[in-house]
Amino acid sequence: MKRKRKAALLILALALFLTLGPGDPKTVTAEALAQVEVDRPLVALTFDDGPRRSTTEALLDGLAQRGAHATFFLVGEMIPGNEDLVERMEQEGHQIGTHSYDHVYLTGLNARDFSRQVDRTESLLTGILGRTGFFLRPPYGKIDAAVEKRSDSPLILWSIDPEDWDDKNTDRIVEHITANAGDGDVILLHDIYPTSVEAALRVVDALHQKGFLFVTVEELACQRHVELTPGQTYRSFYP
Ligand SMILES: [Zn+2]
């Protein structure tokens, strides 16, 4: 993590911590918890393929109400017209990463095509947020040696996949996640489906009841003292 951004996150976390107190489970961030050591299970919800206004906005509303952080891996071509949603994600403490420009396999691409997919999407985000440093989730989770070599950011996969795109059955998705989620898991969902948004919010409610905190991938890694390295693949952050 860039030192400046880390410092900014820490100040924000400490401010939240001091303002809201350590007793409120919805407001303690992992950055703050990294300073005090946590004995609560942590999970990272991750959302691919957006942003899509009709669904992502409702998800952001629901996450804000619940004090849950998530990570969004955005598709470049979905960004124009949704710049305000990207800004909102950042302002509300979510993490933003990239998921290619138009959702193609990154394996087998030459350097120029890789750049057109990844660097072009990063540039769009830099234009909106004025910073760099976006983690990469390759579409379909496909990674090869060339992707590892060309990526200038950590590659983030997942440890729980309810295949929410398949039957779009909210009850089944919720059941799959709540039955399998443990401390340090990274959960894959897609915020372009209303069923997945509803499922995600129900999962937050159910796991809050069990004492879980919802944090970003970056916060989760930080809490587990994992130094994220460009070109390396991460699927989970178990204690
Ligand atoms: Zn995808």
Tens-digit pLDDT profile for residues 168-187: 999 999 999 999 999 999 99
**pLDDT value for 15:** 37
Q: How far is the CA of 1 from the centre of ligand 1 (A)?
A: 24
Q: How far is the CA of 13 from the centre of ligand 1 (A)?
A: 30
Answer whether 0.95 is exceeded by the pTM: no
Q: How far is the CA of 138 from the centre of ligand 1 (A)?
A: 8
Fold of 40-234: TIM Barrel (3.20.20)
Q: Supply the residues annotated as catalytic.
A: 48, 190
Can you tell me the mean pLDDT for 194-198?
A: 98
Q: How far is the CA of 139 from the centre of ligand 1 (A)?
A: 5
List C-alpha distances in Å: 103 to 39, 74, 117, 166: 38, 10, 8, 17
**pLDDT value for 129:** 98
Can you tell me the mean pLDDT for 30-38?
A: 56
Residues around ion ligand 1, judged by CB within 5 A, are: 48-49, 139
The percent helix, strand, coil of the chain (3-state, each to 5) is: 45, 10, 40
Rounded to 5 degrees, what are φ and ψ at 212? -70, 150
Domain residue ranges in the chain = 40-234
**pLDDT value for 18:** 35
